[in-house]
Amino acid sequence: MKYDAIVLAGGKGKRLDLGYNKVFYKMPNGKTILENALSPFLEDIECQRVIVAVSDEDLKKITFEKKMIFARNGKERFFSVYNALKEVKEEYVMIHDGARPYITSLDLNNLKETLKSEDAAMLGIKAKDTIKEVKDGYVLKTLDRDHIYLAQTPQCFKSALIKEAYLKGYEDQGNFTDDASVLESYFKTKIKMVNSTTANNKITFIDDIR
């Protein structure tokens, strides 16, 4: 299954207190966070192009390989994806956070297999802890954790579908926390949850690397 991948590399890393974009932090394996996040897509022969959304300032820090292309980073995540989607040519697209360096080829293969029968799919991990809904510091209610998943990336879609959803979101100037939520807001397309095979943590704090 041929697809394009979007990898978002616009993070600032304030909570890591690095003083620079956290995706350029070098991990114990000698590669940066971004290089680890890119690797499975670059190695997958079915991935036709990897569109990296990054600022002009950080662009010079990236060594672009054959199928990598550049998209301008937006002021918020939504606008970075919106810009990158303009470069997508294949029928399917995977959208991934550049700060998630633990994605595996197995996860990609599971997502591709799911897209054979679905128009949208995403990685996630089932909640282990009891989940409380809280407002103004007080518990409102306990959610049924049997139905709660923690959203991860990649999130994958038929390209035409997510492009149309993003266009509507752009026109509405909506507030979205991930790509699936954009699709949820405008279409009734079912989004298949695919269990992540690893923790697939997003690097936010130094302990996420350790």
- What mean pLDDT do residues 66-71 have? 94
Q: What's the confidence (pLDDT) of residue 210? A: 65
Query: Residue 137, exposed/middle/buried by CB under 10 A (0-12, 13-18, 19+)?
Result: exposed
- What CATH number has the domain bearing residue 127? 3.90.550.10
**Model confidence pTM above 0.75:** yes
Instruction: Please count the structural domains in the chain.
Output: 1
Q: Can you spell out the DSSP letters for 167-181?
A: HHHHHHT---SSHHH
- 193: domain range? 3-208
Phi and psi angles of residue 42, each rounded to the nearest 5 degrees, phi first: -65, -30
pLDDT tens string 114-157: 999 999 999 999 999 999 999 999 999 999 999 999 999 999 99
Q: What's the confidence (pLDDT) of residue 33? A: 94
Q: What's the confidence (pLDDT) of residue 203? A: 87
